[in-house]
Amino acid sequence: MPTLYSNEASGNSYKARLLASFLNIPLDIIQLDLQNGEQRGDKFLAINPQSEVPTLVDGDLILGLRRNPADITEEALITNWLAFAASWVQYGVFTARAIVSLGETFNGLGTTSTEQTLREAKIRGEKSLQILDQHLGSVEWLVLGRPTIAYIAVFPYVALAPMGDISLEPFGNVTRWIGRIRELPRFIPIDGLDDPLYLRTDRIT
């Protein structure tokens, strides 16, 4: 029986439990005490270094939110990165660029954004660059060992992060990945890749 590391109050864990129930797949559910940091303890970290629930363990297969096991479909592996683009990238480097260079978030908030919105976008932006940089330390193309739509989804706003006053310099693996993309046949650039200040009119000083 597959084991699901879960938490009662976690809606994401609930999604896994709910789907298993609908599909009539019995699960051995192990509750993690997230409030007391059990997900960051050595025992669980050995199972999922990203210390996130839900995590499904079925024999050799370990499925976590951002795990990339070998025996999962190509679509699912790519979808992982599309989700990363739609969440971390969108509410991080995308939002910072929009506020700093375009003057609003373009992110569902209309004109209600504040300095705090920008601070939070930068926090998420830096963290997503760390996640990406760590990942790109061992792979060349994000996923599947070759160019896919995953890098098309992730690359543009990551590469434009300096337009949001987020430096790419600390992230050597990301920078080299951007370089590899730019050298692909038929690559086309976007304004701002080489001049992060091109739209700036002192929107943020």
Residue 23: CA count within 13 A, CB half-sphere: 9
Residues 130-149 that bind a second copy (CB under 8 A): 147, 149
**Sign of the dihedral defined by the CA atoms of residues 72, 74, 77, 83, in that order:** negative
Which x/- pattern, by CB under 8 A, does the window 11-50 give for a second copy? xx-xx-xxx-xx-x--------------------------
Which x/- pattern, by CB under 8 A, does the window 56-85 give for a second copy? -------------------x---x--xx--
Q: Give the total of residues touching a second copy (CB under 8 A).
A: 56
CB-based contacts of 16: which residues, under 8 Å, 6+ apart? Answer: 4, 6, 54, 56
Stretch that binds a second copy, among 40-48, 53-61, 107-115, 138-146 (CB under 8 A): 107-115
Among 36, 60, 112, 205, binds a second copy (CB under 8 A): 112
End-to-end CA separation in angstroms for the chain? 57
DSSP letters along 58-127, please? ETTEEE-SS---TTS-HHHHHHHHHHHIIIIIIIIIIHHHIIIIISS--SS-TT---HHHHHHHHHHHHH
Residue ranges in contact with a second copy by CB under 8 A: 8-9, 11-12, 14-15, 17-19, 21-22, 24, 75, 79, 82-83, 86-88, 90-92, 94, 97, 102, 107-110, 112-114, 116-117, 119-120, 123-124, 127-128, 147, 149, 152-153, 156-157, 160, 184-188, 190-192, 199
